[in-house]
Amino acid sequence: MSHIVSLVLLLLQSPFDLQMPENWFNTIGEILNVLFALAIRGYLIFVLVGMMIYATGLSDGLAKSLVILGIALYFGGPLIVNLFAQFSGVEVITLDSATTAWLHLVGMTDAEIITLLVWLGDAVAAICVLVGAILYFTPNANDMTAKGKSLMVRALMLAPILAFFHVAAWL
């Protein structure tokens, strides 16, 4: 029994010198500001990443879950974060404080992240169309033809979303 206790005490030791925050309200406020920024801006990140994963056909379940999470963040995220802020007693979360917290944590604006994701999505869609066409026109392989058709259709589903983000920059 003493061996178990000494093992537990050994595992509880941390090699890192973690500093606890002096003021928990500031820390909670910072976390809630980042969550608010994620709710009002980050939903597009989840939707774009989910659609790119869906286009590749790697994991349909993960892709659909990311898209649903993005839609849920859009509709319920700001409300839930503001309710948590009211319950915790921190200052009111504003758009400016959320933007400051987002830039402090991520280091890039949401427009820059969306631009990178759209560029990556263009590459994913082009590769999926190319691979799908190669698989579709492979002779003597019906299963490859079906997979190729599926890849091309999925890439064509991603293309209008990417086109919207290309055009939205000028609107």
Is 43 a residue whose pLDDT tops 80? yes
Cα distance between residue 70 and residue 66, in whole Å: 6
Q: How many CB atoms lie within 10 A of CB 158?
A: 21
pLDDT of residue 51: 92
Is 121 a residue whose pLDDT tops 90? yes
Is 139 a residue whose pLDDT tops 90? no
pLDDT of residue 65: 94
pLDDT cut 90: percent of the chain above it: 27
pLDDT of residue 108: 85
pLDDT of residue 153: 92
Mean of pLDDT values over 149-162: 91
Q: Of 40, 43, 62, 45, nearest to 53 (Cα)?
A: 62
Is 90 a residue whose pLDDT tops 70? yes
pLDDT of residue 15: 62
Which residue bears the tokens 């999470």? 69
Write the pLDDT tens digit of every residue in 55-88. Answer: 998 888 999 999 999 999 889 888 888 888 778 7
Write the pLDDT tens digit of every residue in 2-39. Answer: 667 777 766 666 666 666 666 777 777 788 888 888 88
Q: How many CB atoms lie within 10 A of CB 92?
A: 9
Q: What DSSP element (H or E) covers 138? A: none
Q: Which pTM does this prediction carry?
A: 0.76
Domain boundaries, the chain: 21-168
Mean of pLDDT values over 103-131: 89
Mean of pLDDT values over 84-100: 80
- 161: alpha, beta or left? (left if phi > 0; alpha if psi -120 to 50): alpha
